Amino acid sequence: MLGITDYALNQRFTTVLGALALAAAGYWAWTQLDIEAYPDISDNEVAVIAQAPGLPAEEVEMQVTLPIERALNTVPGVLAKRSRTIFGLSVVRLTFTDETNLFWARQIVNEKLADAELPAGVVPALGPMTPSIGEIFRYVIEAPDTLPLTKLRELQDYVVIPKILQAQGVVDVANFGGLVKQFQIIVDPVKLEKYELSLKGLADAVADNNRNTGGNFINVGASQINIRGVGRITNVNEIENIVIDNRDGIPLLIKDVATVEIGFLPPTGILGYVDKTRGVAVNRGVEGIVLLRKFDNPSRTVENVYQKIDELNKRILPKGVKVVPFYDRTELVDLTLKTVTTTLLEGMTVVMVVLTLLLGSWRAALISAMAIPFALLFAFLAMYIAGIPANLLSLGAIDFGIIVDATIVMVEAIVRAIHHGKGENLSSLIRSAGTGVRKQIFFSIVIIVLALLPILTLERVEGRLFAPMAWTLVFAIVGSLIYSLTMAPVLSTYLLGANTRESHHMFWRLTEAGYAWTLKTALRVWPLSTLLLTGGVGVLGYVFLPKGAEFLPELDEGCVWVRVFLPSGISLAEAEKYSELLRKETARFDEVRAVMTQLGRNDDGTDPFGPNRIEMLVQLVQPYSRWTVKRTKAEWVLVLKEHMQRLLPGVAFTLSQPIIDTTTENATGASSDVAVFINGGDIGELRRLAEEILEIARSVRGASETAIEQEQPQTQLAVRVRREAAARYGVNVADVCNVLETAVGGFAVSELYENERKFEIVLRFPPEYRGTPESIGKIIVLGQNGMRVPLARVADVQLEPGQTIIFHENGNRQMIVKSNIRGRDQSGFAEELDRAIAQNVVLPEGYEYYLGGQFENLRRAQRRLFIVVPATLLLIFATLMIFFNNNLKYSLVVFYNIPIAVVGGFFGLWVRNMNFSISAGVGMVSLLGLSVMAGVLLLAYFNQIKTGKDDLRSMVVEGAVVQFRPRFMVMSIAIIGLLPAALNTGVGSDVQRPLATVIVGGLCFVLVFGMIANPLFYYLAEKRGSKNGSPTTSKTIAAENEA
Amino acid sequence: MKAWKVCLPILAVSAACGREENAAVALTPRPAAYNVDKVQKTVEFHDTITTFVVETVAQKDVPLTLKAPAYVAARVQGYNNIARPIVVFDEAEKSNVLNHYLQKLSLLKLAEANAERVKDLYEHGAATGRDLIEAAAEVTQIQSDVASAEMELIEKNFNPADLKAPKVGTTWLLCDLPESELNTLHKGMTCRLEFPGYPGETFTGTIDAPAAVLNVQTRKVRVRIVVDDAAHRFRPGMYATASFDFGHTGLMVPRGALFTAGSKYYVFVQSEKNRFHAREITVSTDAGNYIEVHAGLKEGENIVVNHVYLLKGLVFGI
């Protein structure tokens, strides 16, 4: 590898051609790369959804959830198995290890589901293969007010969704809102009794009179004629004329006992929205949520969706009806792209300007600066080959200063060689300068790459977030290494002339003089200097040590996601009033441009919510600089929360953001910063424990939006069959169930097709006959022997408490106490909470608790880093030993830059008042390699020049001053290159900010303290090894040994 | 100097961005908006922007309508060539019962007349004591038959007295009503009748009498409704829907004031201006927009009629 410089200089033209080819390939790779705002940080998951209409939560748990969980017990590769059970719905979610192939996992789950013994009519299905961040696009369908909601929903189901499903990358479109058309046979129970009919009889009559069939074919002459039996119902009139019975030759028809009307299925969810940009407010609308297929690119998919929408609006939908986008993930991509582009351009510009100033030669600066595009293009090519998508987080974390560092060292050495090598052959000067620094450059880059290894070992969310960033950096740095060892010397031969001189700018004269003086003083008073540089750094480390830690800084998605928990048992109609109120009140804020509320749940059952739940998406005016009241988003969120809490006391709110909310919930089971998971058997006992822990959690400083995840039990109307009484009247349990299902529940008895559109035909009693417990008790049940008995005679109809929602985790029932944290770090809060629970709560036998939520991610990442980082430090040290030919002293001298840099990183966080997060940890890890680079350069130079030098101190000062410039440039350019990322507050800058802050702080400390520490400790190490004050050389060591 | 022009602003910017992240937002602490006592189930507001509307609980008279199926059981009609009106029933069996009754009435008359005659003869020595006893016994026997026939008619839900001398144009309907409504129904109460054969038309009937016997299976009482049918529009066997409108007086609360928790009904009673407590109640009659409170509330108490679920969330939890 090190001979590559010689080869490049020998084959300059080939080298330039090769570089151009690489660059061209890199550019092409860039055009092919998928760009994401955020990487897909969700785990591999498979969801099993089973609808059991009409069954209360306890029944669904027993008959559906538990059998499914049991059947899936033997699925391999499962990290966690969680389930949510509510009225009529079971959702079981399996989280798999990163190594598990998702397609294989879905196949296995599907196979195992066949073993689950489920009630008749309950058919489990796999949820769509979409990541947690898969809700990439939301639209609404708007139409004139004259168009009924059923019609809007019909267009959604049969026109819009099928069209959008054709878009590449879309795996599913979930509907929310609207009313599903039904053909309703409203049976008059008075007439039913009059004619002595039963509901079952009516249902059977409808089913029996609604059928088409085929009759094979007949041959007539030479023709074959197919036979069709056509008896399907096609309209209301035909339903009305269905014959139920025949009384003395007179047919009894449906219309004699019922009215047939076109109604709608009672909705389970209501969508409303306000769009201030268009001046639109809709209280009941229809929404489509477009789900991205896992592994597909969001931006490309959204583009495809827009094409389909365009087609729908222009050519397919009726006049006046249009599909209007409401939420578009690419807005976040664009915002983040803008932030990252700004950061990158600013970084690049500043680096180039400073280079020019520091190097004193625009040609030298140009050679150095060209490392940036080359390294980037090289990185793009490598990412394309490795299949790593370009996410904006990883691009935003690129420090151009680091990229040019290797080239700066090379170019600076070349310029110095030319400056001091007057009269000598230019090419020779360049070659010798290049070969003189190539080893240092190579090893420095190797150390930087090694230091990034821990990031590649991170798991799950943090691994997916930072591994692409680490790979991007590694590729870019390798690209910069190749450039520095090949193109930099080659271009120097073309662009630098024999009259190239080092800069003698006043800046350098002053700084070098100042440095020389400081170093001399430090060497003279070396005990004090040593104490300051060791003990002082230690004290500073203690002072600036971060007091708290959090998983990630809040990633700004440009919007707010509010989960609203109304008291359990509230009706949809009553909850709708609050949904509307929340929309109106939120829209009053100038910072808001649009609000959407989803009350209840969608139709496909992927959200197991009841009518007491509202999810609200609040879209904010961008950029934040346009806000009239100058405050940060975090401040505004608190104002919003307080306003909502005053507006609706007795209601719980959780404020978050859509992507991180869903991802954290799916990964850890709760969407909050911290959650206490309590596992056990009895729900009542679990709730008691949860309430106890809730009070404790509320008392911990920083607790915000603290609540129990599961709502209180809600009231149910239980119709419990009295078997003896029922037997007396010849009534079976099935008879009671049939009555409840049809007369009260309104279940479908048949279906009606209007062309390709299918609608249910249902039987129901009018509301006044089924709207109260008393009226339900009066419903007549027909016994086996023709006896007609009121329901209350054979069953107890009474109110009972029942569970609203039941959680399971790995087969155990679970209750969760969740809390967000405001104004302090996650780690500190979690530790305090954990201690308080351990001290105050006594858990019964068989019950346990643990802390999770986002905090779980932090703990996992910390555990991993605690193992990997020391291992990496060992690796770095080993590399230094190899570089310094097993010289322990030199390795330790250089290694000491690491603690200096770490303390500097802490200082940076302290100045910015940031908590230590995994993002900051990744920055710290990136810093390790950078910090030793300066030391490597210095000591390598010392070892080059020390032969023949008598005075150690003079040699050290002289060498340090000579190396001041390249070391200063390396670190200052790295600092300046990251300043834009450290200072940016735009959307998408949240992850880079602490990362850049740590690196900037660390390098600043290395720049200040390391500049003195390296030569000082080298001096002390050599002084100890030397008897007469001269530098120790290999000859001296050999002579001493001989003596 | 050029380098300083670059470095100074950078340093200034760095210094300017110190310690702005994660600073606890300095909101002026607001006093707690409310106090909740979950044991007493009370909540007291100190500061709220939500308005809770209260209504005073009072005895109210709410209209209720009870609908039930009915059918025309009998009708009295006259024929030009027949002096006595004919009662036409929906079933032949009922006609037989009436005829049997009328026969027995005739026989009773005959027997009574015969008994009078024998008594007279006996007094005048023309008949024996045995004749007298036999005549009396015959009267008794036939009286018993008449009573039995009357009972059969009553079991068929007809009043024998009405059938002895029926008025032309009288139509009787029979209607089954739940036993729970017995106390609201009385003789003379009117009802509205709607017949499928006469859509859009409403007729008025009057409760003639409730049945003496309750149907143990259906727990319903059969009542007899009489309607004037001078125009002879109704035919035995025709079905109708009878609607009874009656006022129900009781302690009523608006539907919106009620909520459930566990398996019980509650309302929030106002004890002071901004202080409410949850009280368990039992309910009885559902009267559309109002529900009757059977126990748990007193007249004159103020109850919250809106946003009760917000209060529920505070007191009972979410």
Section A366-370 average pLDDT: 86
**CB under 8 Å to A642, separation ≥6 — which residues?**
B27, B30
Q: What is the pLDDT of residue A1?
A: 59
Residue A1030's pLDDT band (cuts 50, 70, 90): low
Neighbours of A133 (CB within 10 A): 23
d(CA A598, CA A575): 11
Q: Token pair 């054969």 is at which residue? A: B197
Section A96-116 average pLDDT: 94
Section A1006-1027 average pLDDT: 85
User: Please, what is the Cα angle at A1025 between A1020 and A1030, to 5 degrees?
Assistant: 80
What would the pLDDT profile of A473-519 be if each residue is shown by its tens digit?
Answer: 889 999 999 999 999 999 988 888 877 777 777 888 888 899 999 99
Size of interface A-B (CB pairs under 8 A): 157
- Judged by CB atoms closer than 8 Å, whether chains meet at B310 and A652 is answered as no
Residue A423, pLDDT > 80, answer no
Spans of chain B, pLDDT less than 50: 1-29
Residue A45, pLDDT > 80, answer yes
Section A956-983 average pLDDT: 86
What would the pLDDT profile of A74-87 be if each residue is shown by its tens digit?
Answer: 999 999 999 999 98
CATH code assigned to B2-57+258-316: 2.40.420.20
Fold of B90-164: Helix Hairpins (1.10.287)
Check: CB of residue A973 under 8 Å from CB of residue A411. no
Section A434-448 average pLDDT: 86
Instruction: Read off the pTM.
Output: 0.82
**CB under 8 Å to A318, separation ≥6 — which residues?**
A143, A155
Residue ranges of chain B assigned to CATH 1.10.287? 90-164
Q: Could you write out the DSSP letters of every residue in A476-533?
A: HHHHHHHHHHTHHHHHHHHH--TT------HHHHHHHHHHHHHHHHHHHTHHHHHHII
What would the pLDDT profile of A246-278 be if each residue is shown by its tens digit?
Answer: 877 888 899 888 989 999 988 989 999 999 999
β-strands A795-802, A250-253: how paired? unpaired
Check: CB of residue B77 under 8 Å from CB of residue B236. no
Nearest neighbour of A567 by CB, restricted to B48, B218, B309: B309
Task: Using only the alpha carbons of chain B, give its radius of gyration.
Answer: 39
Average pLDDT, chain A: 87
Contacts B219 to A, Cβ<8 Å: 790, 793
Residue A419's pLDDT band (cuts 50, 70, 90): confident
d(CA B24, CA B21): 9
β-strands B264-272, B259-261: how paired? antiparallel
Section A822-843 average pLDDT: 90
Residue ranges of chain B assigned to CATH 2.40.30.170? 170-248
Residue A637, pLDDT > 50, answer yes
CATH code assigned to B170-248: 2.40.30.170
Q: Could you write out the DSSP letters of every residue in A914-939?
A: --EEHHHHHHHHHHHHHHHHHHHHHH
Q: What is the pLDDT of residue B290?
A: 87
The alpha carbon of residue A911 and the mean position of all alpha carbons in its chain are separated, in whole angstroms, by 28
Q: Residue B264 is encoded by which pair of tokens?
A: 């019980």
Q: What is the pLDDT of residue A1025?
A: 66
Q: What is the pLDDT of residue B32?
A: 63
Q: What is the pLDDT of residue B91?
A: 78
Q: What is the pLDDT of residue B83?
A: 65
**Which of A789-793, A1032-1036, B103-107, B276-280 is predicted most confidently?**
B276-280
Residue ranges of chain B assigned to CATH 2.40.420.20? 2-57+258-316
End-to-end CA distance of chain B: 67
Distance from CA of A250 to the nearest CA of B (A): 14
Q: State the amino acid at position A748 in one-letter form.
A: A
DSSP bridge pairs for A650? none
Nearest neighbour of B217 by CB, restricted to A507, A567, A788: A788
What would the pLDDT profile of A7-32 be if each residue is shown by its tens digit?
Answer: 888 888 999 999 999 999 999 998 88
Cis link prior to A649 (omega < 30° from 0)?
A: no
Q: Could you write out the DSSP letters of every residue in A774-836?
A: HHHHT-EEE-TTS-EEEHHHHEEEEEEEE-SEEEEETTEEEEEEEEEE-SS-HHHHHHHHHHH
B63 — contact with chain A (CB < 8 Å)? no
d(CA A555, CA A551): 11
d(CA B204, CA B234): 13
- Judged by CB atoms closer than 8 Å, whether chains meet at B50 and A715 is answered as no
Contacts A585 to B, Cβ<8 Å: none
- Judged by CB atoms closer than 8 Å, whether chains meet at A358 and B259 is answered as no
Nearest neighbour of A567 by CB, restricted to B4, B178, B318: B318
Q: What is the pLDDT of residue A893?
A: 92
B202 — contact with chain A (CB < 8 Å)? no
Q: Residue A1020 is encoded by which pair of tokens?
A: 């002390």
What is the percentage of chain A residues whose pLDDT exceeds 90? 42
Q: What is the ipTM of this complex?
A: 0.79
Nearest neighbour of B310 by CB, restricted to A648, A729, A778: A648
For testing contact with chain A, the best of B5, B10, B22 (most A CBs within 10 A): B22
Residue A339, pLDDT > 80, answer no
- Judged by CB atoms closer than 8 Å, whether chains meet at A567 and B317 is answered as yes
Q: What is the pLDDT of residue A605?
A: 65
Q: Token pair 């729908």 is at which residue? A: A312
- Judged by CB atoms closer than 8 Å, whether chains meet at B286 and A712 is answered as no
Q: What is the pLDDT of residue A161?
A: 97
- Judged by CB atoms closer than 8 Å, whether chains meet at B318 and A642 is answered as no
Q: Which residue of B has its CA nearest to A985?
A: B21
A365 — contact with chain B (CB < 8 Å)? no
d(CA A809, CA A678): 10
What would the pLDDT profile of A906-927 be if each residue is shown by its tens digit?
Answer: 999 999 888 888 888 888 888 8
Q: What is the pLDDT of residue A312?
A: 97
What would the pLDDT profile of A152-202 be if each residue is shown by its tens digit?
Answer: 999 999 999 999 999 999 999 999 999 999 999 999 887 787 788 888 888
Average pLDDT, chain B: 82
Q: What is the pLDDT of residue B12?
A: 46
What is the percentage of chain A residues whose pLDDT exceeds 70? 96
Dihedral angle over CA of A186, A189, A190, A195, nearest 10: 100
A669: three-class secondary structure by DSSP: coil
**A232-236, A470-474, A777-781, B153-157: the lowest-pLDDT one:** B153-157
